[in-house]
Amino acid sequence: MWLRRTLALPVQGTGLKEIASHLGFPWRHKGMDGMMVGMMYARYRDRREPFAVEQVMEYNADDVLALPFVVNRVRRLFEAAA
């Protein structure tokens, strides 16, 4: 991957959540992840436990918004270094 060879960030992984967090993205549900959402849905489907639709929609929206946020921040880093 081009970015891995070109940019070093002080983070452990290369996932969107970790990189976006480091660059300052304001996650609304910091403790939530895809596995948790899947488990919440399975409990709703199997046991009719309440399903936090609004929370899940915000979580999904944050995932969509985080990618262009990261791209813009990385672009600014490269422009500043040029």
Residue 53 lies in a domain: yes
Whether residue 69 is predicted with pLDDT greater than 90 in this model: the reply is yes
SS3 at position 1:
coil
Mean pLDDT of 28-53: 96
Residue 1 lies in a domain: no
Residue 56 lies in a domain: yes
Q: Could you tell me the pTM of the whole model?
A: 0.80
Residue-level pLDDT at 10? 87
Rg of the Cα trace of the chain?
16
- Counting the structural domains of the chain, the total is 1
Residue 40 lies in a domain: yes
Residue 8 lies in a domain: no
The amino acid present at 32, given as its one-letter code, is M
User: Residue 27 is part of which domain span?
Assistant: 19-81
Residue-level pLDDT at 41? 96
Residue 4 lies in a domain: no
